[in-house]
Structure 1
Amino acid sequence: MNITPRVSYAHVGAKVNDKHVASLLRFFASGAKPESNDGYGVEIEHLPVRNGSDCAVSYAQTDGIETLLERLRPYYDPDKEFVEDGHLLGLARPGIALSLEPGGQFETSIGVLHTPQELLDIYAGFRAEINPILDDLGFRLINYGYQPVTSFADITINPKRRYAAMNEYLGHVGSYGPCMMRCSASTQVSIDYSDEADAIAKMRVGTALGPIISMFFRNSPYFEGARNPFPLLRQRIWDKADPQRAGITPGLFDPRFGWEDYARDILATPMMFADLTHTPEAANLSEDEQEFVAFRRNAADIYPDRELNAYEVGHILSTHFNDVRLKNFVELRHWDSLPIERAELLTQAVKNVFYDDANFARWKSFAEGLSVVDVELAKDDLQAHGMAARPFGKSMDEWQDALGLEDTRADIPGDPVHPEVFQR
């Protein structure tokens, strides 16, 4: 008798709890929007640099990021603040949330949006509030994919237990983990799905097209204080950081792949960082027993034998960093931090691919004919040849036309630190 195996190829033999699988499946199903909603969430990470020197600004230094957050406090809802060990680390109000990445990257999460234009309006309000404070503190928030001057070795990690654990873990696996944590910054766009099949189709299309779109929106002129030698620096950093939890989702291009395969892959992966702060069974444990490094243990080793609550599910999903990530939405993660005008163009490009029914049907059919090897070869071609690459057999000019990206090469003002770097 022939038995068809599940298609999640990673972590063969790892223990997975079926109740945990059911929890993730329920969470994915909760995000389905059968009625066409066409919503977006846009996250833009900014790099804080000191005026004059362009060196990275840290959390705790005088007139640094902590001071900035404290000064912004009156503009945000008191009951939505994120504080850990007495340190203010995040703010929120309807439509926008502010948070910090490990190296002080200042993230704005904006949405839910229904047109790309809404992004410009909400972001303009954010800037109107923050810019006078930044001027007074003597630093600014810039949009590049990597810190322009300061090396990763000279940037301290923000005071958050999760980041301390990630720093220890990613410093021992792969390459570029410390660079990613301290110096990189991104633009990410999240989109809706109607059901399981639609979510998987969007994950495939996003995984295949994301690196190509990245070439038209690349924005990493610097790497470790010098000119960046890599056509797609962000892609290289993530592909090399930790193969257990980054890159292409294992099995994604197998026609049998579904939510259960994604759930089992995530649950089989070592957690990296365990968070039991919202696990009732751990209520009487110390802080060190509730939050700790989990180099070898996965969810089945850490969480109780029961269905997981929403916080536990969210934490587990947040420890995976695939090119395209599934939560209760599809998160497209390929792109460098962008100035707002270019972020709006990127959101429009995402709309054209995923929310135009005729276009998406075409791209869905294209992705269904691909294998993981095809996508890996396209990524390698882009890294080796840049704009001279021919991913999937098409020139970059052909891809620009096919994706409707004619406006992406427009000269949109940024905040160049060393303008000579841009001379090609």
Structure 2
Amino acid sequence: MSIPQSGGGPIEHFDALAAYVASGEKPKADWRIGTEHEKFGFTTGDLLPLPYEGAASVRAMLEGMQARFGWTPIFEQDKIIGLTRDGANVSLEPGGAYELSGAPLETLHQTAAEFDAHMREVAEIAGPMGVGFLGIGAAPVWTHEQMPMMPKGRYRLMTDYMGRVGTHGTQMMYRTCTVQVNLDFASEADMVQKMRVALSLQPVATALCASSPFFEGKLNGHKSWRSRIWRDLDGARTGMLPFMFEEGAGYERWVNYVLDVPMYFVYRDGHYINALGQSFRDFLNGKLPALPGEVPTLSDWADHMTTVFPEARVKKYIEMRGADAGSRDQMVALPALWVGLTYDQGALDAASDLVKGWSHETREGLRKAASIAGLQGEAGGVRLQEMAARVLEISAAGLAARGLGEEVLLDPFRESVASGKVPADRLLDAFHGDWQGDISKVYEATRL
């Protein structure tokens, strides 16, 4: 989850909102790759989620990394809730999942090296504490009651609201982990083309990365329970965004969508002010019940943009949001997939041609099918295993055009397509085989 934004003066007119998004435009030479990956911390002695306080805890992890590796702490009130260093951040999900939001990097080899360096630092602090980390899309055993709540004001507000607007919101907050790729765009037209490809092909990424077949100690009937959770979370702020495929899609249409998403909060002087369900449009007119007479700043707008959760999201860059967290190789392969598809124009055009005839029903059907069946899913005449093979060919060609030898990072996905088995399939095979039905074996099998 995002940290509070800062800076920016009062918003005086609607055009400033679209201009904020447009200010992210960059020439291709300046495009970068940002990767965010989450992981569940647990105490190795009892296999319970990592608490915030204590000798073996989230707080001890943050303080240890600060002291040993030169990270700068981020506080909310008197609680350490994150770290920052050289363009990267470590932040906390509501239930304590540990997230690295990586620095903007030029190559995929650098993203792989960043992941490896981060995990070395994590292991150096975690090991002596008796702490481990899981690379998996959903907590396989823990119940909601077992999860701690991190000391962040926005999480207290969101927890209450999630219970009112959907059936799976708190599961998402406390018991899921993802890997996300953040990519740049050159223009409004480039943003729209990339968003259409991103939204259409998120089910392929979901299928390839599906790693969450267990929940609350049982089989859940899905390859990606994390993806299943997102389908019934909050319809006002999630989904496949059919408007992005309509004529007139662009910055202004995106802004109008975000404005219609009910607010969570306003951040002032280190505190989150409850604005649950209120309207940012009212805020623009000085009529927000939570802050009567005030108008928002650009940092308020940036904060509000972090509270929309579709399968792909626009801020000053585009976020690919459809994948379960997983193994090191999986979390390195995902940025390779999206960079190959979107950072070479020939590949982007080929991907656009691949999906341009799909209806909203097909895209939504594939989203559901990927969560249930992984690569074995299909909808609208599209088989995900066959589609994934074509997508990987396009991505590999796009990476080859970069001339950096990055296409080798796609190998884990190629192996999955060849076998038809994604991480969830391999976990299920082990559960029904060597594990003899003992889900606790998942801790060692998915440990990073």
The normalised TM-score by structure 1 is 0.85
**After superposition, where does 1:103-252 map in structure 2 within 5 Å?**
103-252=95-244
Q: Cα offset for 1:77?
A: 5.3
Determine the C-alpha separation between the residues in 1 that align with 2:242 and 2:274.
24
Determine the C-alpha separation between the residues in 2 that align with 1:299 and 1:417.
44
Q: 1:63 aligns with which of 45, 56, 65?
A: 56
Determine the C-alpha separation between the residues in 2 that align with 1:393 and 1:38.
35
Q: Cα offset for 1:111?
A: 2.4
Determine the C-alpha separation between the residues in 1 that align with 2:142 and 2:87.
32
Matched, 1:44 2:37: yes
Determine the C-alpha separation between the residues in 2 that align with 1:399 and 1:57.
39
Determine the C-alpha separation between the residues in 2 that align with 1:365 and 1:410.
25
Superposed CA offset, 1:260-316 (max 9, x none)? 111111112210223234xxxxxxxxx7xx623323311133456598534212101
> One-letter code of the match for 1:271?
M
Find the counterpart in structure 2 of residue 293 from structure 1.
274
Matched, 1:408 2:389: no
Find the counterpart in structure 2 of residue 267 from structure 1.
259
Superposed CA offset, 1:323-347 (max 9, x none)? 1010000000011112222211112
Matched, 1:312 2:303: no
CA gap 1:383/1:341 in 2 versus in 1, 3 angstroms: closer
Determine the C-alpha separation between the residues in 1 that align with 2:30 and 2:188.
16
> One-letter code of the match for 1:141?
F
> One-letter code of the match for 2:212?
S
CA gap 1:178/1:86 in 2 versus in 1, 3 angstroms: same
> One-letter code of the match for 1:103?
G
Find the counterpart in structure 1 of residue 342 from structure 2.
354
Contact 1:20 1:307 in 2 (8 A): no
Residue 111 of structure 1 aligns to a residue whose secondary structure is: coil
Q: 1:324 aligns with which of 312, 315, 320?
A: 312
CA gap 1:339/1:383 in 2 versus in 1, 3 angstroms: closer
Q: Indicate the larger mover: 90-99 or 325-334.
A: 90-99
Superposed CA offset, 1:368-410 (max 9, x none)? 4333233112223334544332245233332232012664164
CA gap 1:81/1:230 in 2 versus in 1, 3 angstroms: same
Q: 1:86 aligns with which of 60, 64, 78?
A: 78
Determine the C-alpha separation between the residues in 2 that align with 1:127 and 1:384.
30
Q: Cα offset for 1:89?
A: 0.5
Determine the C-alpha separation between the residues in 1 that align with 2:116 and 2:374.
33
CA gap 1:167/1:311 in 2 versus in 1, 3 angstroms: same
Determine the C-alpha separation between the residues in 1 that align with 2:354 and 2:315.
24
CA gap 1:364/1:272 in 2 versus in 1, 3 angstroms: same
> One-letter code of the match for 1:309?
T
Determine the C-alpha separation between the residues in 1 that align with 2:62 and 2:368.
40
> One-letter code of the match for 2:369?
D
Matched, 1:421 2:431: yes
CA gap 1:342/1:385 in 2 versus in 1, 3 angstroms: closer
Determine the C-alpha separation between the residues in 1 that align with 2:374 and 2:123.
35
Find the counterpart in structure 2 of residue 340 from structure 1.
328
Matched, 1:53 2:46: yes
Residue 138 of structure 2 aligns to a residue whose secondary structure is: coil
RMSD, aligned CA: 2.8
Q: Indicate the larger mover: 321-330 or 215-224.
A: 215-224
The normalised TM-score by structure 2 is 0.81
Find the counterpart in structure 2 of residue 375 from structure 1.
363
Find the counterpart in structure 2 of residue 394 from structure 1.
382
Q: 5+ unaligned residues in a row in structure 1: which ranges?
A: 1-16, 278-286
Find the counterpart in structure 2 of residue 283 from structure 1.
none
Determine the C-alpha separation between the residues in 2 that align with 1:94 and 1:333.
24
Superposed CA offset, 1:87-108 (max 9, x none)? 1011011142100010001001
Contact 2:221 2:372 in 1 (8 A): no
Residue 171 of structure 1 aligns to a residue whose secondary structure is: helix
Residue 369 of structure 1 aligns to a residue whose secondary structure is: coil
CA gap 1:418/1:63 in 2 versus in 1, 3 angstroms: farther
Q: 5+ unaligned residues in a row in structure 2: which ranges?
A: 1-9, 287-293, 393-409, 435-448
Q: Which has the higher contact order (CA 8 A, sep 6+)?
A: 1
Percent identical across equivalent pairs? Answer: 25
> One-letter code of the match for 2:430?
E
Superposed CA offset, 1:123-180 (max 9, x none)? 2222222212211111111111111221122212111110000000001111111111
Contact 1:21 1:260 in 2 (8 A): no
Contact 1:41 1:191 in 2 (8 A): yes
Determine the C-alpha separation between the residues in 1 that align with 2:337 and 2:427.
27
Q: 1:32 aligns with which of 25, 36, 40?
A: 25
